[in-house]
């Protein structure tokens, strides 16, 4: 800075201070740091990843497939010599293989139904919240009507009309789970549309749907991700309940709910038929709840 005077010296000092200033963290980096520091959420993520990987790879490593019958091993307890590590069911099928297959199906139902509910709920809620007025009132009254419908009755009607199929299960669960998502997104949109950057987009000539999809929805990522994570365990429980009632996944396919429905009546005589799928289901639900809580704490702007 030798030889510089006046305005040049000030600019040079400012540039040097900027160069030596510590670099700040982005919002994404800050959220990731908070999530990593949450030990319960971090352990839950590792457990969930392990369950998913084992459910995908495990069936190829086992000596028995989920639908193969061991006629000499019907209703047998765990037998490591024959490869029935978690025992067999009433039909001689390996319980570990069936539990892994059931875990796959429950995760697929949860993922697809959550995706359906997120897409419908986010778009519906954003449109209602942005346009407001009579459009908002009419759209939200429809949501209230859907809330009033008995869920099980709706699923039974779908099954009677269209028959039982996994695709119908995905759509049926996802079609009703979007209601709460729509309300959450609508409330966030009502707040966001008053912000300055929305007014700037309007002044720049952007249309309503351009503002919704380019400016509002990207700013709703945090709440949407949090609620979607908390929706997955709810959908898994719903699918398990429907399968327990015989309205869900049907043979030869299976799910954790179907396995629990088969194991509950014979729990005293064949406890491994109930405890194996029930343990995996409970473990997944607990881990998903901790992950959801961790994401909520990490993405909540009030905690920054």
CA–CA separation, 93 and 248 (whole Å):
20
Q: Give 86's contacts (C-beta < 8 A, 6+ positions apart).
A: 78, 94, 95, 96, 99, 272, 276
- Give kind and range of the element (H or E) at residue 145: helix 133-148
Among all chains, which residue has been given the structure tokens 């740091």? Answer: 33
Peptide bond into 252 cis (omega under 30): yes
Residue 53's pLDDT band (cuts 50, 70, 90): very high
Phi, psi of 93 (to 5 degrees): -95, 145
Lowest-confidence pick of 101-110, 165-174, 226-235:
165-174
**Which carries the bigger pLDDT value, residue 159 or residue 99?**
99
Residue with tokens 């695709």: 167
pLDDT at 18: 47
**Cα separation values, 20 from 9, 13, 94, Å:** 17, 11, 64
Check residue 92 and report its DSSP letter. S
Summarize the confidence of residues 108-130 as an average pLDDT.
88
Q: Judge whether 103 and 276 are in contact, CB under 8 Å.
A: no
Give the percent of the chain with pLDDT over 90. 15
pLDDT, tens digit, for every residue of 189-221? 998 888 888 888 888 888 888 888 888 888 888
DSSP one-letter string for 106-138: HHHHHHHHHHHHHHHHHHHHHHHHHH-HHHHHH
Return all residues near 303 (Cβ < 8 A) that are at least 6 apart. 34, 297
Name the DSSP class of 302: G
Structure tokens at 40: 């319960």
Q: Has this prediction a pTM greater than 0.85?
A: no
Task: Read off the pLDDT of residues 135-170 as tens digits, 9 standing for 90 and up.
Answer: 999 999 999 888 887 776 776 777 667 666 667 767
Give one word for 249, left, alpha or beta, with left for phi > 0 and alpha for psi -120 to 50. beta
Question: CATH: 3.30.1540.10, 1.10.3720.10, 2.60.40.10, 3.40.718.10. Which one for 26-303?
Answer: 1.10.3720.10
Per-domain boundaries in the chain:
26-303
pLDDT for the residue numbered 135: 92
């Amino acid at each position: 800075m030798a030889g510089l005077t006046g305005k040049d010296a000030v600019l040079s000092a400012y540039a040097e201070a900027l160069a030596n200033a510590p670099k700040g963290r982005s919002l994404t980096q800050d959220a990731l740091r908070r999530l990593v520091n949450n030990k319960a959420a971090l352990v839950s993520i590792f457990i969930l990843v392990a369950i998913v990987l084992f459910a995908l790879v495990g069936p190829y490593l086992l000596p028995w497939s989920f639908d193969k019958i061991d006629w000499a091993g019907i209703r047998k307890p765990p037998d490591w010599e024959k490869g029935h590590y978690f025992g067999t069911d009433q039909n001689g099928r390996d319980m570990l293989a069936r539990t892994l297959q059931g875990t796959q199906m429950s995760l697929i139902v949860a993922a697809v139904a959550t995706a359906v509910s997120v897409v419908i709920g986010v778009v519906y809620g954003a449109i209602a919240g942005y346009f407001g007025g009579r459009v908002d009132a009419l759209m939200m009254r429809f949501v209230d009507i859907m809330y009033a419908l008995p869920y099980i009755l709706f699923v039974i009607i779908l099954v009677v009309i269209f028959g039982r199929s996994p695709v119908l299960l995905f759509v049926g669960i996802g079609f009703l789970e979007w209601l709460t998502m729509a309300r959450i997104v609508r409330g966030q949109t009502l707040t966001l549309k008053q912000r300055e950057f929305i007014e700037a987009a309007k002044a720049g000539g952007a249309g309503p749907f351009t503002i919704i999809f380019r400016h509002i929805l990207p700013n709703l990522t945090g709440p949407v991700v949090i609620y979607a994570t908390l929706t997955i365990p709810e959908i898994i429980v719903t699918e398990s309940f429907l399968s327990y009632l015989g309205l869900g996944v049907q043979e030869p396919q299976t799910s954790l709910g179907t396995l629990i429905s088969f194991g509950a009546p014979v729990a005293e005589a064949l406890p491994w038929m109930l405890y194996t799928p029930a343990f995996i289901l409970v473990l997944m639900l607990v881990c998903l709840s901790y992950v959801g809580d961790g994401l909520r704490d990490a993405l909540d702007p009030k905690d920054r």
